[in-house]
Structure 1
């Protein structure tokens, strides 16, 4: 340095160039709880991380033609905004946080939700800060802001103009793996609890709310026990609703292992006047793990009128939701509508939906159904002297051990896969055999076949 001082600006510029080139990774130290290092961290974000101009064009897809569209971060480009967060504010209502990738949006502008094919209108636009928000007239390319008035828009949706439709790469959320009943502590709180749960599931796409048809209780599906505990805490703290949770149950699924070439479903109901008529022919095919439930219309000659195809798909999804083997949702299948017939007067959406449900349930019975259980990837850290005991404990829980590797400090890491159903109460058992020194982490990996007897699940009669 020749005895001189380095000017801050050239140093910041050099650090920025190295960071953008992935040659250097700045590390910031601090403690948010004690408000230490928060401002320097934010300064580093501004000084060193890429701006929208550094990122350049992003790729979108035309939802009608499927062609790729390049989107530049300029105001004069067509609008493309990705909603990445939903918050139900007690004063402002439904807030949709979005990043503007291209174009600009102004308050009151008509918008098109390309993900859900719905019309929306931007009410007020807000620039959000840590403890307050600012009304703005417009949001420009590269900016992040919040929309008020988008009541049918959710996390992962793309907002654009109707004359320039585009969808951005959406956010993929894992399927919930645990279910539990939830009920208010008092009857008077039930309505408030149901509304609070609806708002929380809007905010968190990994939470799902449904109704148990047998008991009439509300069912909440989540990613784990901690997820459910946080839900109860938020109900109490943010909504003032006391609730109690039932024992968590594993979210099993079902699938077929054999294709069914053609299964017929017919719903014909004649009364004195207008009747009901629906007739479909479906084929079922096993899908890859994680592919979900896919519906495909293979009819080319109009045997089933076009306006009734959505009703057929809904009937298929109804059947998949009910299940067939043990009453769990059916997944990883492809259902094709191969044929059917119609009646010039009596055909109706209800009839085709009922016919599709009937055909699907009959096909499930021929598809050699199996039960699927959620498998989690697990890593257990234990002192070396307790490795044997920890391995024996995991083996008793049907774990598949993949590796045991030494770590610094006399610790070994046990890596493998384990069924979620076997992990209830594991933290207590692990601490017991390691004298409180064992730690573990796990995350969802995939669904795998399991025998009904092993899972302790009864087949539906």
Structure 2
């Protein structure tokens, strides 16, 4: 049986820090609206979301989960996003396709910073969003302190929708600041209207006045009413909230307890009333709605354990049928998602988020159209900087041939990952956002692709150079066999070059002592010798000059001169005082300014050089610290940085230069290094 997506729809993301209760909220939303008959629980492992083995094992959201329901005549698609900062790429990729986002947070002022990266991303994309303070019944802080802490991390003004009612130290209900009606909560049932408690009348009036004053900043008519002490009608307040939320000018704030369904129904009603329609979202993104040509974007890619591919797609414009062709691939089926359950559809209409099967060429972020290429390209979320790596290898050597294909699919599912085969160390290195991120990826490789891995921290790509010059280094290669022999004879000068100059080869041979046809062989021999120097590492920043030599008219060859050059390099390099170099990265560490001093200490104890710090542009209350740091000291930097900053600190880096390794550390590195065959 197939279904058709309702034309009245909203796509709402549920985001928030790890353990804030997002998946529990999704379960409550589905139960309250009748989409499921019984709420599941994370401890029991029976929720609609978080149904993959990795999510069950870690008891956390590890990838995008979509689920559909209806409320108030609107078809809702809720997109539950991972809360771990290590899985932020998944969240960002999905957020660009929604009409609004619910930011779930905890009622703890000390943890308000944990929502800061999410709020910054939402505001940078001007995505309408509201805050839902979950677990409000567990709060040990004054409600005003919680709100003030959240205000400090939001660049948009917060607008309280509700004010909590407590009794005997327990949460019992809320006051709707629009209607000024008080309600008492009931577990798994609608709240009952009750008289407004007299002891909260003053606090309610103050909170409502602040709400209206904030809205009046964007509405001159409302401002005039307030100046004339006219109480605005509820319809006008709701209209202003809808307009201001849709333009990402304000952030409405709601409270509740997802585990008990407290506050979920008022939240749903507000989503119906105040979140922007899909066509408004499309207009805000600059999408031309005058055309009927389908335009869609891939928000997430899934691969089943059997290898089937599903693309979670936002349809911005037009209509897609189950026999259409998108970017050259024929649609293999259109589905609504209910967690891992798929509900087949005949068509998808503009404004819907659906899963489309067998778009083999489509990647997450791709724009889709009915031609070979879409008429326009939609913007995508920026790729996050890779900050943590493991060297990986199949547990069974016979599986090596399958690794690149499996990694390709793994990266399609999770664009936050990156892999490379390092040119110096020859290791396969998997990059991501932290230990948990890579652990989940390795579990998928084992479960889904039957490729268990062995892992270790990547080798540091040390280099070596020389400190002094040496001249007239002699190398002679003479080998006699039953037929023609081999003979090559060279003299070379070896000199250090300034750091970063690489390698230079030249020749100053006179009188044909080494014939021209053999000189390329000399250069090849020198280059091969530099692959593995006396200390066991590639050699850089060195100049070699061929100055003299001799040859045999019969036995000489390019191969013989290559061997002679290698012998000369073996002799000469040992006399040039080899020196060990380590790669140094330029890093920019971004943290809330309350942690800046800790980051400065962190750089110093890791042998880093602090270049300075300044306010981070576009991030109120954040600093950006610049420095140089040895790559060897960066392997676990993100782990300590997140521990220091409530999980929100991050950094970017790029290779900058090579620098001599300190003598004490040099001895330790060389003691671990296998003897060189130089």
Correspondence list, 1:352-363, <5 A: 352-363=561-572
Residue 594 of structure 2 is matched in structure 1 by: 385
- More helix per residue: 1 or 2? 2
Q: TM-score, normalised by structure 2?
A: 0.37
Are 1:411 and 2:622 an aligned pair? Answer: yes
Quote the offset at 1:300 in angstroms: 4.5
Measured on the aligned residues, the alpha-carbon RMSD in Å equals 4.5
String of CA shifts for 1:124-181, please: whole Å, max 9, x gaps.
xxxxx978998xxxxxxxxxxxxxxxxxxxxxxxxxxxxxxxxxxxxxxxxxxx9976
String of CA shifts for 1:87-146, please: whole Å, max 9, x gaps.
xxxxxxxxxxxxxxxxxxxxxxxxxxxxxxxxxxxxxxxxxx978998xxxxxxxxxxxx
Residue 187 of structure 1 is matched in structure 2 by: 397
CA contact (8 A) 1:296 1:335 kept: yes
Quote the offset at 1:372 in angstroms: 0.8
Residue 295 of structure 1 is matched in structure 2 by: 505
Quote the offset at 1:187 in angstroms: 3.4
Distance 1:384 1:211, change over 3 A: closer
Are 1:433 and 2:644 an aligned pair? Answer: yes
Correspondence list, 1:251-330, <5 A: 251-325=461-535, 327-330=536-539
CA contact (8 A) 1:371 1:452 kept: no
Quote the offset at 1:422 in angstroms: 0.8
Are 1:219 and 2:427 an aligned pair? Answer: yes
Aligned mates of 1:342, 1:221 — CA distance in 2: 46
Distance 1:224 1:131, change over 3 A: same
Are 1:420 and 2:631 an aligned pair? Answer: yes
* Gaps in structure 1 of 5+ consecutive residues: 1-29, 44-128, 135-177, 198-205, 213-217
- Say how many residue pairs are matched: 295
Correspondence list, 1:15-34, <5 A: none
Distance 1:453 1:312, change over 3 A: same
Match of 1:457 among 661, 664, 669: 669
Residue 333 of structure 1 is matched in structure 2 by: 542
Correspondence list, 1:167-206, <5 A: 182-193=392-403
Quote the offset at 1:31 in angstroms: 7.0
Quote the offset at 1:224 in angstroms: 9.1
CA contact (8 A) 1:267 1:351 kept: yes
Correspondence list, 1:52-131, <5 A: none
Q: TM-score, normalised by structure 1?
A: 0.53
Quote the offset at 1:207 in angstroms: 4.8
Distance 1:417 1:187, change over 3 A: closer
Aligned mates of 1:404, 1:211 — CA distance in 2: 33
Residue 375 of structure 1 is matched in structure 2 by: 584
- For residue 670 of structure 2, give the secondary structure of its aligned residue in structure 1: coil
Aligned mates of 1:420, 1:209 — CA distance in 2: 14
* Gaps in structure 2 of 5+ consecutive residues: 1-93, 100-280, 289-366, 373-387, 408-418
- Say which one has the larger Rg: 2
Aligned mates of 1:458, 1:266 — CA distance in 2: 30
Aligned mates of 1:179, 1:372 — CA distance in 2: 21
Aligned mates of 2:531, 2:525 — CA distance in 1: 10
